[in-house]
A and B are shown apart, each in its own frame.
Chain A
Amino acid sequence: MTRSSLTRLPALTLALSLSAGFAQAQAIRIGVNEPLTGPFAASGTYVVNGAKIAADEINAKGGVLGRKLELVIEDNKSNPTEAAAVAEKLITSDKTPVLMGAWGSSLTLAVMPKLADYETAMLVETSSSGKITTSGNQFVFRISPPSALEAEAFAPLVEKIGLKKVDFLAINNDWGRGAAADFTKMLKGKGVSVGLMETMDQGAQDMSAQLSKLKGSDADTIMITAAVDQLTLLFKQMAALGLKKRVITTGGSQNPDQIIAQAGAAADGTMHLTTFLPWYPEKTPNPAATAYFIGEWKKRGFEFAGVTESFRGYDGIRAIAAAIEKGGAADAAAIRKGFWSVDFTGLNGPIRFAKAGPSGSESGQSKPDVYLVKIDAGKVVVPEL
């Protein structure tokens, strides 16, 4: 029976560590379910680093309810099935009473049934598909804007920029397709015509074919939804094809600094909808917190480019800490209840959860600020419109 004793080993060590932990004030464990490998690895890693800054800051100030926070970080490999498995592992094996995750919309949607199964709340920090908060999952609390909210925030700018006809190029998943659908709806309502809807696989490297097609279209603007690595490739390939149209990216995951660093002049003139303004800390809703966060980020030797992703990890953990505080206990039910009383100013606006989705089983949705920035001669600027 060597095999069974071998597999029992982790369970035993877990049991031992649990009983040892109870003697002293045991840390409150927070499960972090992020893509650390695969196509979204860069972004997931940034979010995790932001989360660590928040946990360290809170722990240095004495923790929550007199206990330290401990992040249990797992890699969901940018894959939905893996994300669901990771959530199950975090809840059942690591006994985390609350989760943060899972970056991508498809990843988050895959995790959601597990949240309901185990009645454990998850703070959604990045995903923007509308489905997440409209499907009646009571365990989801989101601080990132759904694409409909983003489209709504963008609506007043449509005429100022002068959009006439728009083509879409989106990553082929819940995020990309959802964003394209929500923006299409908003644009049509504003009398703007919508042309092509091109998609690309999340791991695709060569988009020349799609771009050649977009080059031939008569639209004046291309709206793109993709993660930063793919955007970099897209801008380079657009430059190579001599495709010069107005480009606006959506989704809050564009990371303009990384684009400038990797795509160079190819990124000039592109516009990006973002939810954080780290270039102008004084213009953010909470300048003191922004300055502290950026300072800490630099102190740890991370690239400045990462802050547009990592601030969500930072705000996410702070929201979870606030929920634990408000709930008054570190168990799943209390934390979930606590989320509804969270109210503080995050790095991109107030974080408090409004009810969203079918009545009786609402999800929580916070409403962050949305900004439009432009890359101009290798610098990020807020365009005067």
Chain B
Amino acid sequence: MTRPSRTRQLPALALLAALAALPFALGHDPYLLNALITTGIVTIAAMSLNLLLGFTGQLSLGHIAFFGIGAYVSALTSLGFDVELFGGLRVVHEPWPPAVGFGLAVLATAACGYLVGRLSFRVRGAYFVIVTISFSEVVRLVALNWVELTQGPLALTGIPPLGLWLPGLGTTVLRTKLQNYYLVLAVGTLCYALIGRLVASRFGRAMRGLKENESLALSLGINATRTLTLAAVISAAMAGAAGSLYAHYLRIIDPDVFLFSTTVTMVIMVVGGGKGTLLGPVVGGLIFGLLPVALRPVMVPEAQWMVFGLVLIGIQFVMPRGIVPGLVRLVARRRPAAASSSPVPAEVRP
């Protein structure tokens, strides 16, 4: 197992330090902090999407389903519910602490990821894309219509904020924006590190092998079903974690959390930042998450979306590999010696 060298982590560490200091630079402005927190949450989801889209090459366009399921599972666990299933079976659930909700959200979405992962091996290409979209739409319609459980379009309100238990300090309820900002940053960093380890492992090589040349990878003894399923499970669980953060931060969720446009936003973050790179979705996430904030004073939301659409088209023509690989190549061209001696293929370089 080759561990990425310290110097290669430098840009990521610098970014982390900058992000940690950002709230102070912004003077705790609540509006901007809010934008940063939601951007951070969607960026985590985009990082998880990258695992499928970038590293295994599966264009999953139903990723928002995992995010939304995570949000609903977590919210319902901490709010409690009382539903009657078919056949008069009544299920009553008393509210549990939000942290338990977070854990259940991760488990539930991992299970969903397992199903989608199995399915992804049955159907490929266009079929896979359409079935993932359908999956997220079905989940949205269930959330919309199972009013007894989800409140439907009435939205689940009054979701309690997450509490954090620290040794020696007891439990702190994370109510303020600043606390939530650092929570999102911490979870994001954890996911980043996890994906980094994963990609550098044997499993990561198997994923890339399948993506680049499936028949060759199979002949080398890579178990395709297992590899793709595992990637889907981890990816879904991370998206579920992001969804849980979202629910407990906003403290309200409605079925529109499943809208296709959020998946599109994630795809733009991944593809724009650089799919199949570690830092790509983070950079893409920050750019395309904060772009609406910057564009808001100068153009209406419709026009912002047009810009997003044009960016998505433009990237495919101008910079098909995304911003981060583009920058890496620029740097590499200046220092050809350093690049040629690199043992890691350009694809995985952050």
Chain A residues engaging chain B, CB cutoff 8 angstroms: 1, 3-4, 6-11, 13, 37, 75, 79-82, 84-85, 88-89, 92-93, 106, 109-110, 113, 172-174, 177, 201-202
User: Would you call B157 and A110 a contact (CB within 8 A)?
Assistant: yes
B125 on the interface (CB 8 Å rule)? no
CB distance from B45 to the nearest CB of A (A): 16
B328 on the interface (CB 8 Å rule)? no
- A8 to B144: give the CA distance in the assembly, Å: 38
Residue numbers in A under 8 Å from B256 (CB-CB): 79-82
One digit per residue, 1 when the CB lies within 8 angstroms of any chain A CB and 0 when it does not, for chain B 219-249 equals 0000000000000000000000000000000
Number of interface residues of B (CB under 8 A): 36
Q: Name the contact of B153 in the complex, choosing from A9, A93, A106 (C-beta under 8 A).
A: A106
CB distance from B203 to the nearest CB of A (A): 33
Of residues 266 through 289 on chain B, the ones whose CB sits less than 8 Å from some CB of chain A are 286-287
New contact pairs (11) apart from A81-B252, A106-B154, CB-CB < 8 Å: A4-B22, A10-B296, A10-B297, A11-B31, A79-B256, A81-B257, A88-B30, A88-B34, A113-B158, A172-B152, A173-B153
Q: Name the contact of B252 in the complex, choosing from A9, A80, A177, A202 (C-beta under 8 A).
A: A80
- A201 to B144: give the CA distance in the assembly, Å: 9
B253 on the interface (CB 8 Å rule)? yes
- A187 to B297: give the CA distance in the assembly, Å: 51
- A110 to B155: give the CA distance in the assembly, Å: 8
Residue numbers in B under 8 Å from A10 (CB-CB): 31-32, 293-294, 296-297
Chain B residue nearest to A175 in the complex (CB) = B154
- Can you list 27 pairs linking A and B with CB atoms under 8 Å apart? A3-B287, A4-B25, A4-B26, A7-B36, A7-B293, A8-B26, A9-B294, A10-B293, A37-B301, A79-B256, A80-B154, A80-B157, A80-B252, A80-B254, A81-B253, A81-B256, A81-B257, A82-B256, A85-B34, A106-B153, A106-B155, A110-B157, A110-B252, A113-B157, A172-B144, A172-B145, A173-B154
B307 on the interface (CB 8 Å rule)? no
CB distance from A101 to the nearest CB of B (A): 15
B138 on the interface (CB 8 Å rule)? no
CB distance from A80 to the nearest CB of B (A): 4
Chain B residue nearest to A105 in the complex (CB) = B154
User: Would you call A93 and B31 a contact (CB within 8 A)?
Assistant: yes
Residue numbers in A under 8 Å from B25 (CB-CB): 4, 8
Residue numbers in A under 8 Å from B257 (CB-CB): 81
Residue numbers in A under 8 Å from B297 (CB-CB): 10, 13
- A85 to B177: give the CA distance in the assembly, Å: 13
- A13 to B250: give the CA distance in the assembly, Å: 27
- A109 to B154: give the CA distance in the assembly, Å: 8
- A299 to B109: give the CA distance in the assembly, Å: 57
CB distance from A316 to the nearest CB of B (A): 23
Chain A residue nearest to B293 in the complex (CB) = A7
Q: With A7-B293, A7-B294, A113-B158 given, is the CB distance from A202 to B30 under 8 Å?
A: no
Q: How many interface contacts (CB-CB < 8 Å) are there between A and B?
A: 97
Residue numbers in B under 8 Å from A106 (CB-CB): 153-155, 254
Chain B residue nearest to A92 in the complex (CB) = B30
Of residues 113 through 170 on chain B, the ones whose CB sits less than 8 Å from some CB of chain A are 144-145, 147, 152-155, 157-158
Q: Name the contact of A8 in the complex, choosing from B32, B145, B254 (C-beta under 8 A).
A: B32
Of residues 8 through 35 on chain B, the ones whose CB sits less than 8 Å from some CB of chain A are 18, 22, 25-27, 29-32, 34-35
CB distance from B123 to the nearest CB of A (A): 29
Residue numbers in B under 8 Å from A11 (CB-CB): 26-27, 29, 31-32
Residue numbers in B under 8 Å from A9 (CB-CB): 294
Q: With A84-B252, A92-B31 given, is the CB distance from A75 to B301 under 8 Å?
A: yes
- A11 to B27: give the CA distance in the assembly, Å: 10
Residue numbers in A under 8 Å from B348 (CB-CB): none
CB distance from B77 to the nearest CB of A (A): 19
- A151 to B36: give the CA distance in the assembly, Å: 46
Chain A residue nearest to B257 in the complex (CB) = A81
CB distance from B297 to the nearest CB of A (A): 6
B174 on the interface (CB 8 Å rule)? no
Chain B residue nearest to A3 in the complex (CB) = B286
Residue numbers in B under 8 Å from A201 (CB-CB): 144-145, 153
User: Would you call A202 and B32 a contact (CB within 8 A)?
Assistant: no
- A172 to B146: give the CA distance in the assembly, Å: 11
Residue numbers in B under 8 Å from A88 (CB-CB): 30-31, 34
- A75 to B301: give the CA distance in the assembly, Å: 10
Residue numbers in B under 8 Å from A13 (CB-CB): 297
Residue numbers in A under 8 Å from B30 (CB-CB): 88, 92-93
CB distance from B318 to the nearest CB of A (A): 20
User: Would you call A1 and B18 a contact (CB within 8 A)?
Assistant: yes
Q: Name the contact of A113 in the complex, choosing from B34, B251, B296 (C-beta under 8 A).
A: B251
Residue numbers in B under 8 Å from A3 (CB-CB): 286-287, 290
CB distance from A62 to the nearest CB of B (A): 30
CB distance from B16 to the nearest CB of A (A): 14
User: Would you call A80 and B34 a contact (CB within 8 A)?
Assistant: no
CB distance from A202 to the nearest CB of B (A): 6
- A113 to B157: give the CA distance in the assembly, Å: 9
Residue numbers in B under 8 Å from A75 (CB-CB): 301
Of residues 293 through 309 on chain B, the ones whose CB sits less than 8 Å from some CB of chain A are 293-294, 296-297, 301
CB distance from B186 to the nearest CB of A (A): 20
User: Would you call A7 and B35 a contact (CB within 8 A)?
Assistant: yes
User: Would you call B155 and A80 a contact (CB within 8 A)?
Assistant: yes
Nearest 4 A-B pairs (CB), nearest first? A93-B31, A80-B155, A92-B30, A173-B153
- A259 to B148: give the CA distance in the assembly, Å: 33
CB distance from A166 to the nearest CB of B (A): 22
Chain A residue nearest to B29 in the complex (CB) = A11
User: Would you call B254 and A81 a contact (CB within 8 A)?
Assistant: yes
Chain B residue nearest to A8 in the complex (CB) = B26
- A285 to B277: give the CA distance in the assembly, Å: 68
- A37 to B304: give the CA distance in the assembly, Å: 15
One digit per residue, 1 when the CB lies within 8 angstroms of any chain A CB and 0 when it does not, for chain B 305-321 equals 00000000000000000
User: Would you call B293 and A172 a contact (CB within 8 A)?
Assistant: no
Interface centre among B18, B252, B297 (most CB of A within 10 A): B252
CB distance from A2 to the nearest CB of B (A): 11
Interface centre among A4, A7, A79 (most CB of B within 10 A): A7
Residue numbers in B under 8 Å from A84 (CB-CB): 250, 252
